[in-house]
Every structure is written in structure tokens, then in C-alpha cells.
A and B are shown apart, each in its own frame.
Chain A
Amino acid sequence: MGSSSGQPEFDYLFKVLLIGDSGVGKSSLLLSFTSNTFDDLSPTIGVDFKVKYLTIGEKKLKLAIWDTAGQERFRTLTSSYYRGAQGIIMVYDVTRRDTFTNLSDIWAKEIDLYSTNQDCIKMLVGNKVDKESERAVTKKEGIDFAREYGCLFLECSAKTRVNVEQCFEELVLKILETPSLTAEGSSGGKKNIFKQNPTQTSSASSSYCCSS
């Protein structure tokens, strides 16, 4: 899991988006992942952006991670960042119940509205588990939500760095397992259904054969 900076060659470029209420720790999570540090950060204005290189197996990946502002005032602006994302991480604060309920009230709807990628991988992350004593959302509730919305789920802490790397890794692995997403992110040319060998293709082309 080496991260190398300034390495221009990569096999895949994936776009990952962080969303969730203001103050749940999106920026902290990103900082923790990309530079192993935890600082008090200013609230994000609009959007922030970071690049991280990963190597998974033989594959070199470039992750472009977009950190959006949770504040309502910026929501109309941030909606445009959903476009073309292969992964979306929904973050809530396990010590603030409203940040969890807003996921279904607001954020899941935003994804439906703005995500252009039907196969895009969604992930639910409960942050700030270091504040266990103040916990207001149980892990079970998180799991149930994830099941209902078909997301990956993890609890982590940007402060103690517990589960921070796992969270991004799991997401990337899942993206790599999804042919339509890897096709998009692949640095090579785009594949299409007419060229593919029928036995290799997934749901997209089987419907093409008109056999059903």
C-alpha cells in the first residue's frame, strides 16, 4: 500500500466523493488518509480536492478525492461534483444523531439526483468512534442503513486513524470489481458491448442479445 507522489503513470483513475453534514469530519478523514495527520481544519468552503496514489495488487491507481462542504449554502454548488464519481462516501458523526438521520433525508437523495453513474459504489462511514462515550448512533443502526441503501459500511476515527485506510481501500477494491467502473476509469480506451466477447460481458450485453 505505498503512496507515491509525483508518479504520473497509473492504470486507473478513480473519482471519489465525500459527502455528509457539516462538521462530521470529512476533511479530517481525507487529511488523515492522505497525510497521516489530524489537525483542526477550517470548515470547507465549497469543495476541496486531493490526489492519492495507491497500488493494489499489480494495479497502479490514482485517486482523485473530492471533499465537499456539508453546509447547506454550498449544496447547489457541490451537486455538480457528483458527476462521474465512481465512489461516494457518505460520512456521519456517530456522536451526532442528526448527522445520521440527514443521510436518508438529504444525502441519499442528493446521490439519486446528481450521481450520473448508476453502478457507482456507495460507502457509509461513521466517524469519530474515538468519542465512544458520546456515541448517539449504534453500529447496528449503521449496518441496517447500509443494507437498505446497498452501501459498504465502516466505522472509523479520523483522529486515531482507526479504519481510515481500510475505508478507502475497501471502496477501491469494490470499484475494481465492477467492470463498468473500471472500464470508465481505465487509462486505456473505452470498451463497448459490440466489441466484447459475449461470454465476458455482464448484464449490459446480455440484454443486447435480445434473448430474454
Chain B
Amino acid sequence: MASASRPNSLEEDDDDAEEEVQHFDDFTLASSWERFISDIEATCRQWLADGPRNLVEKGAVAMEDSKNLFKVKHDLKNVEKSYCMEFYFQIDDNGGQQAGIDNWNSNSHDLQLCFGVKDFLLIAPQSASGVLLDSPESSKLLSSVAIALSNCASLWPAFVPVHDPSRKAYIGIQNMGTVFTRRFEADRIGSQVPVKLMHLEGLYELFISKFVYSGVDFSMHNFRVHFRMRLTYQTFPYDEEDEENDMDELMDDKADNAEHHGSESRNKVHWDDDCPWSEWYSAEDPLRGFELVVTWDDRTVENTMEMAELENASPHEAEKWILHPILSPYLGDPSRGKRIDFASQLLCLVEALDMSFTAQFMEDFVSVEYPSSENLKTSLVIPPQTVLDRVIKDLFHEGSKLPDFTKGEHKLSRALKAAPLESLFTQFCLHSLWFGNCNIRAIAFLWIDFVREVRWCWEETQPLPKMPNDGSIDLSTCLINQKLHLLAICIEKKREMNEEFLDCIGSEDSSDASVSMEEHPKVDKRKNTSSEADLQRKRDSSIAEDTSNRLRFERKTESTNSVDHSPTYAMRRGSAGPVGTMMLLKSHQRLHAPFTQDPPLMTEDMHEERLQAVEAFGDSLNVPGQLEKDILLSDMSAFKAANPDAVFEDFIRWHSPGDWESFEPKTTEPSAASNTEGSTDQWPPQGRLSQRMSDQGNLWRKSWHDAPALQADDQKPLLDPNREGEKILHYLETVRPHQLLEQMACTAFRGSADTLNQTNYGNMKQMTSKLEQLYFIIKSTLGGLQRNNLPDRAETVKDLRRLCVVFEHVEKLVTVAASLHRKFLDASRLAQVIFSEFYGIYVPLMGINSNDEENKSRTEMEVSRQEVTLRERQVVSNLFSPPSANQSWRKVLSMGNLLNGHEPILREIIFSTGDDVNNGIHYAAAADVAATSDRRGEEIETHRMYVSGTSNDLRVALSVTSCD
């Protein structure tokens, strides 16, 4: 049977093959062929004996993109040439030879798909690409194999390549074990495919022609054949040219470009324009595009009309949609520096931090005299003045409204010693990242200008932008942020004082100054003169004699407390009103709460100084800090001023009610029920000081004795805005470079993380927890910074570089999550499964790359295909946006089944027709349909044709089973 090779030819040149086969009977005479065949036979016997499992154990090679396909190899030699015989076999528990053919298994080997086989032999010349097999040689080779296989009773199909490898032409043969033999043949048209064969009708007719006698008019007869189709669509690829230009630009001067982008130099719309990072850079879309594979299940077609209809069918009518995201190669690429993102810029900042230890002041880095500035200057470029101006403008002059300081905040953000994302210092730090590629000279340049601008605000009493001018200092933030906050408050206080001063000058003439005074009740025009001597004078007389002030507060008292008609009301000053119905002990007067000075705001260094002072006092009780004593004294003074007849006990009753033990039923807290008359009746209140308060030598009593009656406005301020503000500017102007850079590093890391944290990526739990981890890692890595001394600078910098690697990974993940989310807004399930899969592949790499800095190898990123449910189809179909004008040149449209105007990039079709085993007729069993469907088990596939075509090439593979 091996001698009877009768391939159905697809194309002309196969006629030669037929001729050659005729000579083939001679093979027994040629001893070299004999040896060759026995060599094949021996090998096949060995493989047969081993069986798949043993072959795998013996080292069969797994095929790359298939989980269960393996191959073993054997080298053959005959007189002229070396051949290589490969046996491909599949390991799966279920199914025989035919299993896995009907489904479009994407992992199938090309030959499996073409010919509908499972295990097979492939014999080819050793150097597959170099040596061409002409038809006679191929046939000879195939015959040898066929003989060998039949000798060892193997049923494996065997294939031999023909012609130029690019043609992917094969011939093959298979002994079916019965009287049947299958023959295989495949070829390809590489260009100028006949129009007829671009359409389904033509292909249908091509198939029919393989088993129907010629001369029959196809259109007149019905031939029932099985038809299956798989179409692959792809979203339009990225515009490669554009992309390259972008990359060039970026490489030339990434910083400058980054500063420019968004404005004049790039008008292109980026996929991430509304992503939070786009304010700083534009990321390449991690999803290059999508491939959609649409399959039509087996259906029976009877005539060309039906084929024409099928060609018009929308992909939405197909049974199955499988989506395959195409990831951008950069995702698997650990190339630091090539990409521009937060991670890359943070790395630059870390290098700047490392250098910052070399100088005393920031000015040193820009000065001409600085010794090492020569080599610095060459490598570290400072951007032009225009860029600087733009950054300063953005920081100081954009938007006077206070931003939302909780924006982007993660629950772990505040664990970092940094500043809120929208605050002035964070914005400065983020700008620095993109300013002159964040080298130390550029940073110094920007910082000096930044501080100059801050000083201008201070001198001109202009509000500091992006900073609140009230509230308390958040000590969990970095020192510079605290200082800027306090400065903003000082500027505000200074402004109030200036206004008050002007008002007072104005009020000398006008009799009514009360309006403005009530607006700023605590501001005193005499603040500069209220010295210690002044306090002394006040204490001695206890009655204020300054007429203008007196006038002022008489008015005030009148407005707040018109109820009190006691004779001493003229002396009551700085009252905030009576406290309930409380009465003084020694005078039939209401007890008034005074206006008090706010406790001074302090930045952390001020607290530290204070703690040190307290600590220096040593290990003894009752040495409160000076500041606390000052506050108590100030409260007492204010209380005395508001209640001229008060005694120490009265003060305690108001200030520390717990230390007054009242004898009355309604004690410390006068209830609202007790009316004026009632309390007047009960006067004087009965009670006594607590034990601890009544002790001799009690600090409180001593202080009470020392306190002058002075309303808060007349007291020396607990916080002098002029002094504090000046001190802050001094700090900013002389800050040690490494102290600045340490704070910048922390703040920039937080700012970048907070920016990423704003990304909308839907409900992807892995991303949420990854971001949380990022904050955690940032926190523990930055923990050593912003302390008094850095224990091991080299080690810290190394850690920070690693932190940048971690950051890069998380940043990439966020980009992927965001990109998926926005593409599958209405099919979040798809976004989530794809992301999960990507995450599963990517995260193990993160570990490798961040633990081993040297690992620079890239990894291919492939996520598997996802089945699209019916409900998700619309979303997926929307990914295929209708071709735009400049894409129209691609519209060859030689195939049907368009998806939003996209024609498939690949169309694969399998035609098949079966026949009753007992019915030896080879042409279409058109009349025998009922029988075949009833006795399906006995039907064998007589003809099978696999057609695979793009818009300009066509491959056809045919298997024919015949009875010899």
C-alpha cells in the first residue's frame, strides 16, 4: 500500500510527485534506502515500545506553547543527506487519535490543526531552512517512512515538507489500520490570492471539487458538508512611527520634554490623559491591543448560497468569543531609566540625595566656586529660566483656592513623614522630580528660587499658596511642611495685626472703632511695646489706664454682657461672657470666662527643644516646662482682668473644676435650670479646694499671686509671629542639603504613591493590597531618614534604590489595572480576570527583580485568552473602534464578517465530509444524510480541508481517506 501514493493535487507542480512515486517500487534494490528504512523502523519501534510516558521521562521536549505536546528527535542519514525525524505526541488521559481536533485548540501544533491529527511523525532535512526538498525527494522520503511504519504496524501519520519552507507545503500519509489510508497535502499561496478563493463560496467549491467529479455544476447540486470557522480580529496596532518619535524625544531630553508635554509640543490625545499621573508624565498603554477569536461551531452547509450568507454574518452570531489581550513588551522589561515614570524620577532623586551630603548649603551646588562644581556642571544640567518660571508660577500663582488636602490620601499615607499631596511642599517635590531630570544642581536651583518666593510672600504679607493659614501643626508631617504651615499662620497673624494697626490709626479720629475691633478682638496695636516692664506696670495698678484701649473694651463688654449691671463693670476687661450662673466667692458678681491666648503652635523642632529643656531640669517632679507655666500665668492674668474681684478659688472653679469640692447639691457644673435669682440667693457658693490644690507651696497659688490682671490682648503674645516667621525663613534659607533631600525623598515618595493611589482601577483587590504594601515598604525603608543622623548612608541609598524598583513594579501594575478598568468599564469581570492573570505572572517576577539588582533580563508577558460571555460582547466589540480616516488604507476588505469595520486578520475554516464505512463511494454522500446522522459512529471522515487565509495569503491543507 505504500507504493500506491495518489495525492490529490492542489496545484500543478504536484504532478511531478506522482511521476516520482511510480519509480518508487525500486526501493528494495537500493541497499542504502533499505538501511535508511530500517533505521526509521528501529527508531519507531523503540518509540512505540516506550510509549508517551516513558518518552517524557527519557527527556522528550515539551513544545513551547502547548502544555501537553512533546517531541522526541532522531537523526537519520542516508547516502546523500542527513534527516531529522521527530515524533510529536500528546499526553492526555482521555481520547484517541481524533481527540482535540474538533475544538480549535489554540495550543495545537500547526500540523495538527491542518490535518486533524494528534500524534505524528515529521521527517525533514537536518537544516530545515537551508535545504530544499523537491517533490520527488519528498515522495521518496515519505514512502520510506510509510514502509517503515507499516513494518512496525504503527498508525502514526507521517509528514514530509516540500519546497521552500516558507510555503509550508507538506505531504503526508497515514495507515488507518483498516483498509483505509489517509493522505495529506498542504500548500500555500503567498500572494495574489485569486478573488474567488477570498470568499467563502469559492472555498466551498474548492472543497467540493476534491470529491465531486469534474464537470458537475456545483450550483445546481447540494452537497452537504460540515463547516467550522474561526476568525481572528485585532485592534489597530499602535502607530509605530509616532511611537518611535516619542521615544526619541524622551531619550533626548526627557525632563524638558516632560515639562513641556501636555502643552504645545504634544497635541496627541493619550490614553491616560485623565489618569492621575498624566499631570506629570504620560505612560505607554500597557495593553497594546486585543486579539479576538470568534468561532462558528460545526454547521452543515448545503450550497454556495448558504456560504454567501455566512460571509455576511456578523461575528455577534458566532458561538464563541475569545479575547486575548496583547501586552506591551515593556511590562516584562526591567529596564530602568528607559521608561519615564515616577519610579525613574524617584531614582534620580535618590541619587541626588546621595550627593547632597557633600555640601553645606544648597547654594554650594549652584555656585561657581564650589570645588567639584566643574564636573558636576557637565553632567548635571539646569533647565532654562523659562522652565523655572513655569514651575514657580505653577507652585505660587495657580489657583488661589485652598486645595483638598486629603486628596489621594491612603490610610497609610500619614504614616509617612511627608506632607499632603496637594500641599506646597509636596508639589515642590513632585515638580523637582521632573525638573532637569532631578539632579542635585537642578534641585538646588529650584529650591533657592522657591525659598526666595516664600520670602517674598512673608515680606509682602501675602498668603502662602497651597497651605492652610489656621489649624494646628501636624507633627506627623515632615519638618518643612510644618514650618511652611506655621509660616502661613504667622503671615495671617501679621496681616491681622497690620490691619488692626491701620484701623486703630483710623479710629483715633473717628469715634466708632468697634466694628473692626470686634472682628479682631485679640489683636493689639501695642504688641511691640508690651514688654516685661509694661506687665509690671499693669500688675501694680491692676486698673488699666490706657484710655483708648479702655474705651474699646468698654464698648465690647457692653455688647457681650449687657446683663451685668454691677458697679465694677467698667473694670472688667477681655471677658468672653459669664460662665452659666456661676458667681464669684468674695463679690456678688458673675464669674466671667476671659478670652485667652491660644496655646502657641509649635513645629516638631520647637517641641524637641522644649522636651530637652524639661529633660535638662532633671529627675524631679514639679518642673513644668516654661511654656506651660507661661500659659497658666496668661490664663490667670486674663481671668483676673475679666473678674477684677476674683480670688484664687474662683480661678480654680473655672479652670480646674475637679479641684473644687462644692458643698451644694448642684456642684461644679451649674445646670441650666438654676436661674439668676436662684443663684443669687445661694450666694456665696459653698465649697473648698481639693486637698492637693490647697497644699502650701502649691505652684498654682504662687502663680496666681504673681499673675498681673491683664487681658489676653494686652499680654505678651505666647507666639510672636514676626519672630517665628523670621526664624522659619532662616531655617529654609540655611537648611542642610541632606536634610532637605531627606525630606524631599519622603515627600516625593508619598506624593507619587498618593498620586497613583488616586487611580481609578475599579474593584481589583490585588491592586488594593499591593498599594497598601507599597506604602508599608516605603514607610519601613524611609524610616531611617529625617533623624538626627543617618547611621549608614551607603546602605540607606542602596535600600532606596531598591525601593524604586519596587515602586516601578507597583506603578506598572497600576497602569495595567487602570488601562483594563477603563477598557472594560461595563464588563468588570473581564478586567478582573485579565488583571488577576497578569498579576499572577507579574508578581513572581517582582520578587526576582527586586531581590537581585543585576537581573536585567526581560520576560515575555503573555496572559491567556479569556472567554467572553454574551453580555460582555458589546464591550469587547467596542474595543474595535471603527477605522479612522488615516487607517482606511488598511481597509483592503477582501474578506467578509466585518466587526465594526474590521476585517479578520486571519480566517480559518475546516470543511469536512463523511461517508458510511460500508459505502465505498468517495464523492459527496448527498443523498445519504439521514443514514449518516443515524449511524454516526460508523461514519468516517473522508475529506477534510483546512483553509487558513489572511487578506493576502491562503493556505490549504487537505486530508483524504480512501480505501485501497
Asked if A126 CB lies within 8 Å of chain B CBs, one says: no
Which residues of B (791-812) have their CB < 8 Å from a CB of A? Answer: 791-792, 795-796, 798-799, 802, 806, 809
Q: When the two chains form their complex, are residues B472 and A76 in contact, meaning their CB atoms are under 8 A apart? A: yes
Within 8 Å CB of A56, what residues of B?
none
Q: When the two chains form their complex, are residues A40 and B695 in contact, meaning their CB atoms are under 8 A apart? A: yes
Partner of A192, one of B604, B799, B806: B799
CA distance A1 to B631 in the complex (A): 39
Decide yes or no: A77 and B599 within 8 Å by CB, A23-B690, A43-B693 being known contacts.
Answer: yes
Which of A137-145, A157-165, A201-209 has 4 or more CB atoms under 8 Å from chain B?
A201-209
Within 8 Å CB of B772, what residues of A?
207
Which of B255-263, B304-312, B731-739, B773-781 has 4 or more CB atoms under 8 Å from chain A?
B773-781
CA distance A95 to B635 in the complex (A): 30
Within 8 Å CB of B632, what residues of A?
45-46
Q: When the two chains form their complex, are residues B781 and A192 in contact, meaning their CB atoms are under 8 A apart? A: yes
- B619-637 interface mask toward A, CB cutoff 8 Å, 1 = contact, 0 = none? 1011111011101100100
CB distance from B624 to the nearest CB of A (A): 4
Partner of A77, one of B617, B627, B693: B627
Main secondary structure of the interface of A (DSSP, over half): loop
CA distance A211 to B799 in the complex (A): 19
Q: When the two chains form their complex, are residues B802 and A42 in contact, meaning their CB atoms are under 8 A apart? A: no
CB distance from B616 to the nearest CB of A (A): 10
Within 8 Å CB of A146, what residues of B?
none
Asked if B607 CB lies within 8 Å of chain A CBs, one says: yes
Q: When the two chains form their complex, are residues B631 and A48 in contact, meaning their CB atoms are under 8 A apart? A: no
Residue of A whose beta carbon sits closest to that of B617: A49
Asked if A31 CB lies within 8 Å of chain B CBs, one says: yes
Partner of A83, one of B475, B776, B850: B475
Residue of B whose beta carbon sits closest to that of A23: B658
Q: When the two chains form their complex, are residues A48 and B619 in contact, meaning their CB atoms are under 8 A apart? A: no
Scoring B604, B611, B627 by chain A CB atoms within 10 A of each residue's CB, the highest score goes to B611
Partner of B781, one of A48, A81, A189, A193: A193
Residue of B whose beta carbon sits closest to that of A198: B851
CB distance from B414 to the nearest CB of A (A): 9
Asked if B214 CB lies within 8 Å of chain A CBs, one says: no
Decide yes or no: A42 and B658 within 8 Å by CB, A80-B602, A83-B604, A193-B777 being known contacts.
Answer: no
Within 8 Å CB of B699, what residues of A?
42, 45
Within 8 Å CB of A80, what residues of B?
475, 602, 604, 607
Residue of B whose beta carbon sits closest to that of A117: B415
Q: When the two chains form their complex, are residues B622 and A41 in contact, meaning their CB atoms are under 8 A apart? A: yes
Q: When the two chains form their complex, are residues A42 and B476 in contact, meaning their CB atoms are under 8 A apart? A: no
Asked if A5 CB lies within 8 Å of chain B CBs, one says: yes
Partner of B625, one of A47, A114, A116: A47
- B623-659 interface mask toward A, CB cutoff 8 Å, 1 = contact, 0 = none? 1110111011001000000000000000000011011
CA distance A34 to B621 in the complex (A): 10
Residue of B whose beta carbon sits closest to that of A30: B621
Within 8 Å CB of B655, what residues of A?
71, 73
Which residues of B (826-846) have their CB < 8 Å from a CB of A? Answer: 843, 846
Residue of B whose beta carbon sits closest to that of A190: B784
Partner of A204, one of B700, B780, B798, B846: B780
Within 8 Å CB of A118, what residues of B?
415
Within 8 Å CB of A210, what residues of B?
770, 773, 806, 809, 843, 846-847, 850
Within 8 Å CB of B802, what residues of A?
194
CA distance A46 to B604 in the complex (A): 17
Decide yes or no: A204 and B625 within 8 Å by CB, A42-B693, A47-B614 being known contacts.
Answer: no
CA distance A212 to B770 in the complex (A): 9
Within 8 Å CB of A22, what residues of B?
656, 658-659
Asked if A106 CB lies within 8 Å of chain B CBs, one says: no
Q: When the two chains form their complex, are residues B691 and A51 in contact, meaning their CB atoms are under 8 A apart? A: no
Q: When the two chains form their complex, are residues A195 and B692 in contact, meaning their CB atoms are under 8 A apart? A: no
- A105-149 interface mask toward B, CB cutoff 8 Å, 1 = contact, 0 = none? 000000000101010000000000000000000000000000000
Asked if B194 CB lies within 8 Å of chain A CBs, one says: no
Asked if A50 CB lies within 8 Å of chain B CBs, one says: yes
Residue of B whose beta carbon sits closest to that of A207: B773
CA distance A208 to B791 in the complex (A): 22
Within 8 Å CB of B684, what residues of A?
none
Q: When the two chains form their complex, are residues A42 and B780 in contact, meaning their CB atoms are under 8 A apart? A: no
Partner of A43, one of B621, B656, B780, B806: B656
Q: When the two chains form their complex, are residues B784 and A42 in contact, meaning their CB atoms are under 8 A apart? A: no
Asked if A155 CB lies within 8 Å of chain B CBs, one says: no
Decide yes or no: A208 and B656 within 8 Å by CB, A45-B629, A192-B784 being known contacts.
Answer: no
Q: When the two chains form their complex, are residues B631 and A74 in contact, meaning their CB atoms are under 8 A apart? A: yes
Q: When the two chains form their complex, are residues B621 and A45 in contact, meaning their CB atoms are under 8 A apart? A: no
Q: When the two chains form their complex, are residues A195 and B795 in contact, meaning their CB atoms are under 8 A apart? A: yes
Decide yes or no: A42 and B698 within 8 Å by CB, A23-B659, A48-B624, A80-B602 being known contacts.
Answer: yes
- B683-701 interface mask toward A, CB cutoff 8 Å, 1 = contact, 0 = none? 0000000111101001110
Q: When the two chains form their complex, are residues A40 and B621 in contact, meaning their CB atoms are under 8 A apart? A: no
Within 8 Å CB of B472, what residues of A?
76, 79
- By a beta-carbon cutoff of 8 Å, the part of chain B in contact with chain A is 415, 472, 475-476, 599, 602, 604, 607, 611, 614-615, 617, 619, 621-625, 627-629, 631-632, 635, 655-656, 658-659, 690-693, 695, 698-700, 769-770, 772-773, 776-777, 780-781, 783-784, 787, 791-792, 795-796, 798-799, 802, 806, 809, 843, 846-847, 850
Which 6 pairs show the lowest CB-CB distances between chains A and B?
A46-B628, A45-B624, A189-B791, A207-B773, A194-B799, A40-B692
Q: What are 21 A-to-B residue pairs whose CB atoms are below 8 Å?
A: A23-B659, A31-B621, A34-B619, A41-B621, A41-B622, A42-B622, A42-B699, A43-B659, A43-B693, A45-B629, A46-B629, A47-B624, A47-B625, A48-B621, A50-B619, A80-B602, A192-B781, A208-B773, A209-B847, A210-B846, A210-B850
